Amino acid sequence: MRFVIQRVNHAKCTIDGNITGSIEKGLCVLIGIAETDTKEIADKMIKKLINMRIFADENDKTNLSINDVDGKLLLISQFTLYANCKKGNRPSFVEAGSPDMANELYEYCISECDKAVPGVQIGVFGADMKIELENDGPFTIVLDSDKL
């Protein structure tokens, strides 16, 4: 599983001009799911995400988590995080989870995140989404379950 975590001042997801999710201060998280991912892996990733101290404290040190700053989450499914670009110029996505399995784990991530950070906002699995955000910092972190 891969998360691309962006600390944002605001972010929103639109589909055909309709907003499906919108947050102010918080984290916009792109979620890539591989065929080998499980709920146990998701739990580990979610725990790391929720407890990650990447917001500034009163001394401008990155010491605070999303809950410490009353931040929000915008979770976006992103199978292209499993693009394999080793051969040629056209990426292969064979490492990405099958749609049914990946959607189930994406929905699980939403549910579990909402328990820790109520009011989770989302994109729509498999949709042609437009993501607009203002990255704060910029501050972007890539979490890969293979490296945790």
Q: From residue 134, how far is each of 27, 59, 67, 99, 110 by CA, in Å? A: 11, 23, 20, 29, 22
- Of 6, 20, 78, 121, which is the active-site residue? 78
- Active site (annotated) includes residue 62: no
- Of 3, 55, 79, 125, which is the active-site residue? 79
- Active site (annotated) includes residue 80: yes
Per-position DSSP letters for 36-74, written without gaps between them: T--HHHHHHHHHHHHH---EE-TTS-EEE-TTTTT-EEE
- Of 36, 38, 62, 80, which is the active-site residue? 80
- Active site (annotated) includes residue 20: no
Active site residues: 78-80
